[in-house]
């Protein structure tokens, strides 16, 4: 079992296919929608986290590509300069994914990278400008 993140870009004509149903039913992939932007009649994009067997995920991505959907693996990650952090909490105010939270005992910042959906709201929210995107 592996977990991978993909950004899916839909052409305008692909909005009527039950894609996620096929991924679940035919490829046994569990799907977590992290972010969705849909502009009806124009285009749409989804940030998905796919969990399943490696070969199934590969086949699922091939299936999506055959449907004219552009699938890009997401390696983009948010990082921050922890040693400079003052634990003020400003970033936790905007992190609706729950990746950035304050530890309720020592009130230091906790960053659970697994929960991060790369919405990037923390980047401007940090008053010390400690967050940055890593495209590695």
Q: Are strands 131-134 and 2-10 parallel, antiparallel or unpaired?
A: unpaired
The residue with tokens 């055959």 is 66
Nearest of 8, 11, 26, 12 to residue 64 by alpha carbon: 8
Minimum CB separation of residue 86 from another protein in Å reads 5
Tell the smallest beta-carbon distance from residue 69 to another protein (Å): 30
Asked if residue 127 binds another protein (CB under 8 A), the reply is yes
108 binds another protein (CB under 8 A): yes
Distance of alpha carbon 113 from the chain centroid: 11
Among 2, 70, 86, 133, binds another protein (CB under 8 A): 86
Contacting another protein (CB under 8 A), which of 94, 110, 119, 120?
Answer: 94
- The distance of closest approach from Cβ of residue 116 to another protein in the complex, given in angstroms and rounded to an integer, is 16
User: Strands across the sheet with 30-39, in order?
Assistant: 30-39, 43-52, 2-10, 70-73
Residue 82, token pair as written in the block: 């922890």
Per CB under 8 A, residues contacting another protein are 86-90, 92-94, 96, 102, 104, 106-108, 121, 124-125, 127-129
């Amino acid at each position: 079992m592996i977990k991978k993140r993909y950004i899916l870009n839909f052409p305008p004509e692909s909005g009527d296919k039950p894609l996620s149903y096929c991924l679940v039913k035919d490829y046994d992939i569990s799907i977590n929608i992290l972010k969705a932007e849909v502009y009806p009649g124009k285009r749409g994009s989804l940030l998905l986290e796919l969990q399943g067997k490696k070969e199934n995920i590969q086949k699922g991505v091939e299936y999506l590509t055959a449907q004219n959907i552009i699938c890009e693996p997401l390696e983009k990650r948010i990082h921050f300069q922890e040693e400079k952090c003052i634990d003020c909490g400003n970033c936790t105010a905007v992190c609706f994914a729950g990746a950035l939270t304050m530890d309720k005992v020592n009130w230091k910042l906790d960053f659970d990278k697994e929960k991060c959906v790369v919405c990037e709201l923390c980047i401007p929210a940090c008053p010390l400008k400690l967050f940055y995107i890593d495209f590695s």
